[in-house]
Amino acid sequence: MSEPIVAIRNVSKKFPGGVIAVDDVSIDIAQNEFFALLGPSGCGKTTLLRMISGLETPTSGQIIIGGEDMALTPPNKRPTNMVFQSYAVFPHMTVAQNVAYGLKVTGVESSEIKRRVAEGLEMVKLTALADRKPDQMSGGQRQRVALARALVKRPKVLLLDEPLSALDAKLRDDMRMELTRLQETVGITFIIVTHDQDEALSMASRIAVMEKGAVQQIATPSELYEHPRNRFVADFIGKVNLIDATVLGQKGRSISCDAKGLGKIEIASDKAVGSSVSIAVRPEKLRISKGRPENKSVVKLEGTVRDVAYYGDTSHVVIEGKDGLNLSVNVQNDTRLGGAGVERGQKVWVQWAPEDSIILTE
């Protein structure tokens, strides 16, 4: 990675009363990245974003933006701009006045302001509404105002706090594409905070998963999904079947273990592992068959269908095996007939390729 545009070095934030919101976080964010801070509510992601913007001061650690330590730089002097969760569009100003505000207070020339406001409104397709007041606009439009207002300042980094959470489902999809498009056209680093894994996976180039103030993993979306580092990440990103297992021995690049409900199985793993692990398998990697699978190399077990939930494009089937092991299986409904093709109470076999299993030790 070349010189990071934002470098967060061992940053912690302790609130009065002893709550540790952010705990020794270090992240490097590269120029032009679409970076997501993902985690459940209360994990410290918004606090971290506010510390980057300067609205919150770290208790310890360093925040470096564009090579400069920001410790003594107030928010109005930082090369960052923020799109707030409530949008925070100024109610007593028109759309154009809102967009012009950030330029006006920093003494930009009025002809330059005019030009950049027009450009900014064009970018978010609000030119026609320039003279409207915010209370005559929808949530989606107000968000565009907030976006334009931040972008005309030409920050090095744009910070977005839960930008899609207040929009309805249809609008959210449009806005998601719009944000990706904007990020590509303006070429500014975006840092987005979200609790919605779909949002992060579909937009971000890299994601930091946070829990209880600490970063659990930083990776690309597919890496996070297919190679989660621990149980929390595996469970938080997408759905997962977690099977407890005891390691019996390690032979070269594979381990043999005694898994709950599966008996003795062998799984490839190049990591040195302890005695107790979790085997994680994504529901869509599992296959259901009526008869015993003939392929010797697959992991297989027999079970009873406990539940079938129909979702249109997929059906989610829960199968109960031995020892109370419950497995979720996602079945693509790829023909118009039959859905998942199984019924509650039916005896079926479940199989998956051993290489689709993830060994988790933490």
Name which position in 47, 81, 269, 314 contacts another protein (CB under 8 A): 81
Name which position in 70, 121, 126, 150 contacts another protein (CB under 8 A): 150
- Residue 242's SS3 state is strand
Name which position in 12, 80, 189, 314 contacts another protein (CB under 8 A): 80
Type of residue found at 315: S
Q: Is the dihedral of CA 181, 55, 101, 130 positive or negative?
A: positive
Collect all residues with Cβ–Cβ distance below 8 Å to 330 and sequence separation of at least 6: 239, 283, 284, 286, 314, 315, 316, 317
Question: Residue 51 Cβ, how far from another protein at the closest point, in Å?
Answer: 13
Terminal CA-to-CA distance of the chain, rounded, Å?
A: 28
Question: Residue 104 Cβ, how far from another protein at the closest point, in Å?
Answer: 9
Name which position in 105, 128, 169, 337 contacts another protein (CB under 8 A): 105
Name which position in 60, 86, 276, 297 contacts another protein (CB under 8 A): 86
55 binding another protein? (CB under 8 A): yes
Question: Residue 12 Cβ, how far from another protein at the closest point, in Å?
Answer: 22
**Which helix (H) or strand (E) element contains residue 48?**
helix 45-53
What x-and-dash track marks residues 151-190 binding another protein by CB under 8 A? --x-------------------------------------
Question: Residue 119 Cβ, how far from another protein at the closest point, in Å?
Answer: 17
Name which position in 26, 68, 112, 139 contacts another protein (CB under 8 A): 139
Any idea what the Cα angle at residue 14 is, between residues 11 and 18, rounded to 5°? Answer: 155
CB atoms within 10 A of CB 115: 13
- Residue the block writes with tokens 């010189």: 3
Name which position in 15, 19, 68, 91 contacts another protein (CB under 8 A): 91
**The one segment of 50-58, 64-72, 225-233, 308-316 that binds another protein by CB under 8 A:** 50-58
**The one segment of 146-154, 181-189, 190-198, 314-322 that binds another protein by CB under 8 A:** 146-154
* Residue 324 CA: distances (Å) to CA of 130, 132, 214: 62, 61, 33
* Structural contact between residues 300 and 349, judged by C-beta atoms closer than 8 angstroms: yes
* Residue 83 CA: distances (Å) to CA of 161, 162, 191: 6, 9, 10
Binding residues for another protein (CB under 8 A) = 53-55, 74-77, 80-82, 84-86, 88, 90-92, 101-102, 105-106, 135-139, 146, 149-150, 153
